[in-house]
Every structure is written in structure tokens, then in C-alpha cells.
């Protein structure tokens, strides 16, 4: 019984991912102004930080075709002088490298990953030195529980982000009611969510 109870959240997550991926594939067709609408939320995102002055370290991601297009937002933040870090596939985990907002990105190493910067690696623990994390997700609920893609890459990476503000980036319809998603002990909650509709703080 105890084993079944422990497995239940993982089983439920798999079922939720299947449904959310199907819905996203059917509905997440990027509108021409999506990137501009997300970029227009830059000041709202930075307002989440207790200290939003000086050069910030911001970890983010290059979107796959069905994910919200944050590239214009990242370019804007880079133009303001902030240091942008993007994930680099590293075996069973993620490393990080800086992106200046304009340099070409390398093709994704595997299905489900975005393109990668080619600069020097900063280490798997780079998020320990990061102020803000824009994290990909399939959904997030208003309690702050984030549902990732299932590989565990970001869960392990976020374990280093103990002092960073974590913002899940999803489509507006993927922001769910409080406690709608199962949370396990290793899941790192998001502090806020970013959609084209705006920025919303999560949890208490």
C-alpha cells in the first residue's frame, strides 16, 4: 500500500503530461505577436526580484516549437546588460553557457531540447549563482507546483537554485487551480508564472 501511495504521484504526472502535450500540440500555434507580448512583460518579471539593479544572472531556455517563445524577451534582457544562461545537454544532466542574445545557437542535441549556445560551460551548479530562472514547463498550478517534461533535467538543475526566483513559463491555459498538480518531495516550486497574459505570483 505504501509503495502504491508513493507511485501514485508519478503515475498521475505521466497521465497529465500525455494530456497536456496533446493539448499543446493541438493549440499552441504561435501567434505573430507572442514573442513581443512576452518581451513586453520584462519589467514585470524583473519586479519579482528583491534586487533588480545591476547586472543580473538570468537562466532561461531556447524554446521548442510548442513552447512559449521567450527569445525576444531574452534578447531585450541581454541588451539591458543582464547575463543570459541557456542549458547545454550534458549526459544525464544540464550544463549552462552564456548567450549574448544574437550569437547563433547550435542545433538541439536531442528531441525535446532547444538549441544551445557554444560558449564556455559554467557548470551544472551555475544556478546557484543565478538571480532568476525562467523555467520551461507543461503546466503550473497556483500553489506553485510546476510540471516539467518528465526527464528530470530541470528538477535536478533547480535543486541548485536555492536563492533564485523561479518563474515557470507556460501558455495562459496551462496555469491551473491551486493543488491541481501532484507534488513530490524533489519538486522545486515556482515562485511565479509568466504567460502572454502577464506575470502572476504563486503560492503563499
Distance in angstroms (rounded) separating the CA atoms of residues 71 and 77? 10
Domain count, the chain: 1
Task: Report the CATH number at residue 182.
Answer: 3.40.50.10420
What does the buried/exposed string (b/e) look like for 178-202 if buried means 16 or more CB atoms within 10 Å of the residue's CB?
A: eeebbbeeebbbbbbbbbbeebeeb
Residue 7 has pLDDT above 80, yes or no: no
Residue range 195-203: average pLDDT? Answer: 95
| Segment 55-84, tens digit of pLDDT | 999 999 999 888 999 999 999 999 999 999
The parent domain of residue 77 ranges over 2-201
Q: What is the DSSP letter of 143?
A: T
Q: By the 8 A CB rule, do 115 and 107 touch?
A: yes
Q: How many CB atoms lie within 10 A of CB 43?
A: 9
pTM for the predicted model, two decimal places:
0.90
Amino acid at each position: 500500500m505504501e509503495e502504491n501511495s508513493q507511485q501514485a504521484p508519478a503515475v498521475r504526472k505521466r497521465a497529465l503530461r500525455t494530456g497536456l502535450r496533446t493539448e499543446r500540440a493541438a493549440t499552441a500555434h504561435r501567434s505573430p505577436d507572442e514573442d513581443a507580448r512576452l518581451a513586453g512583460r520584462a519589467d514585470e518579471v524583473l519586479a519579482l526580484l528583491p534586487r533588480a539593479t545591476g547586472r543580473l544572472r538570468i537562466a532561461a531556455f531556447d524554446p521548442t516549437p510548442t513552447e512559449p517563445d521567450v527569445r525576444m524577451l531574452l534578447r531585450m534582457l541581454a541588451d539591458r546588460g543582464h547575463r543570459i544562461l541557456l542549458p547545454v545537454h550534458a549526459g544525464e544532466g544540464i550544463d549552462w553557457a552564456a548567450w549574448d542574445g544574437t550569437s547563433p545557437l547550435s542545433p538541439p542535441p536531442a528531441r525535446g531540447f532547444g538549441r544551445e549556445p557554444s560558449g564556455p560551460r559554467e557548470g551544472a551548479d551555475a544556478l546557484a549563482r543565478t538571480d532568476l530562472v525562467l523555467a520551461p514547463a507543461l503546466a503550473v498550478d497556483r500553489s506553485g507546483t510546476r510540471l516539467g517534461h518528465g526527464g528530470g533535467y530541470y528538477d535536478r538543475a533547480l535543486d541548485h537554485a536555492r536563492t533564485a526566483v523561479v518563474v515557470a513559463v507556460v501558455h495562459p491555459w496551462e496555469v491551473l487551480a491551486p493543488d491541481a498538480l501532484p507534488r513530490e518531495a524533489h519538486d522545486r516550486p515556482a515562485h511565479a508564472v509568466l504567460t502572454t497574459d502577464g506575470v502572476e505570483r504563486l503560492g503563499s
